[in-house]
Amino acid sequence: MAFVALSVMAVSCSNDEIMADTQPQAHSGTSKEVSKTKTYKVRFGLIALDGTKMLSGNHDVGSFLAENTVTGEVYDTYYSGGFQTLPGYYEGIPAGTYTFSAMQGQGGWTGYGSVTGTISDAQVDADGYVTVYIPVTWAE
């Protein structure tokens, strides 16, 4: 019985590692499925209240989020609750349509909206990233 419990625990841990890893691994049926799915590197920036696109500086952002509009799966950069340096990055998001947003940071001095867009080969820039700008909706 203990062996079965240990086996189940080992399988669940390896699945978590595969989901977090952007490199396909071919040692299980699940990872073979993952290796067939192309993933993309996403770079997050902000759009200031005046419409200026920002990819640098420190900002009151807790985390950047990408929620798949079909599956509901959420990809979260989760850097922490405080100020973040732009750009934010997430590697390993599968192609699809997502709602992108940002969580308010620890200071609570800035609010963010969301944008919906598609991640695919067509959006990859010269640097190899899909760049997404999250709008700032209010700031103190």
CATH number at residue 127: 2.60.40.1120
Segments forming the whole domain that contains residue 7: 2-34
| Mean pLDDT across the chain | 78
28-37, 52-61, 85-94, 106-115: the lowest-pLDDT one: 28-37
Number of folded domains that form the chain: 2
Tens digit of pLDDT for each residue in 14-27?
323 222 223 333 33
Q: Is the pLDDT of residue 99 over 90?
A: yes
Q: Are residues 11 and 68 both part of a single domain?
A: no
Helix-strand-coil percent breakdown of the chain, rounded to 5?
Answer: 20, 45, 35
CB 96 within 8 A of CB 72: no
> Sorting pLDDT into bands at 50, 70 and 90, what band is 105?
confident
